[in-house]
Amino acid sequence: MSSIALFPLNIVLFPDGPLPLRIFETRYVDMVGRCMREAEDFGVVLIREGREVGPADFHEVGTSAQILDFHQLSDGFLGLTCVGARRFRIRSHTRQADGLNLGEVEWLALEPTVAVPERHARLSKLLQNVLPQLGGVYADIRMRPDDAAWVGHRLAEILPIPLSEKQSCLEFEDPVHRLDVLAPFA
C-alpha cells in the first residue's frame, strides 16, 4: 500500500491519457509543489457526488497522474501538463484541515499487452484518424494502435459516453472486454 494525495475531479483519467489542469486552490498548489519536490504522482478520482471545489464523495478506483510540465498562466493560475500512470484502488482516505484528501491505495495490476482482435480493427483505425485531428493534448501522445488496453483507454476518453460508463471502463481488468463494451458507441 502507498499513501498519495487525491484530486477528485469530474473526469476519468486513464493510463497514458493526457490531463491538462488549471490549479488555483492553495491545497492543490501545495500538493503540486510537494509532488514536484518528492518526484511523486497524485491520484485522480472521479467525483460520485459533490463538487471539485468542495467536499466530494468519490469512486474508489482512480489513476495516478504524473506531472510532466508546469507553467504560470496569464490569469495567474498554475497550468499543469500531466499524464495518467497506474490504476489504484483506495483502501482508506482522510481529509486534511486544508481540504486535501489523502488515500492509502493498493496499486492494481498492469493490464496485459494484448493485440486488438480482428473484430475490433476498425477501432484502431478510427483512433489513428481521429487523434491527430484532435491535436492539442493528443499531439504528443505515442500511438499504440495494436495494444487493446491503449485503444480502449483512448476510446473511453474521447467517446461521448456518461462519466459512470467511463469509470466502469477504467475498472475493467480485461482490455478486450473493454473494447467489446465500447465498440457499439464508436
Q: Is the pLDDT of residue 121 over 90?
A: yes
Average pLDDT of the chain is 94
**CB neighbours of 37 closer than 8 A, spacing ≥ 6?**
none
- In which band, very low, low, confident or very high, does the pLDDT at 55 lie, cut at 50, 70 and 90? confident
CB 152 within 8 A of CB 182: yes
- Cα–Cα distance between 120 and 180 in angstroms, integer? 8
pLDDT at residue number 103: 97
Q: Is 40 helix (H, G, I), strand (E, B) or coil?
A: coil
Residues 6+ positions from 129 with CB-CB distance below 8 Å: none
Q: What is the mean pLDDT of residues 115-127?
A: 97
- Record the pTM: 0.94
15-28 residue pLDDT tens: 999 999 999 888 99
Per-residue b or e along 120-159, where b marks 16 or more CB atoms closer than 10 Å to that residue's CB = beebbebbeeebeeeeebbeebeebbebbbbbbbbbbbee
Place of cell 491535436: 135
Instruction: Give the separation between CA 128 and CA 186, rounded to whole angstroms.
Output: 13
The domains found in the chain, sorted by start residue, are: 2-107 (2.30.130.40), 118-185 (1.10.4060.10)
State how beta strands 2-9 and 42-50 pair. parallel
* pLDDT tens per residue, range 60-86: 999 999 999 988 888 888 899 999 999
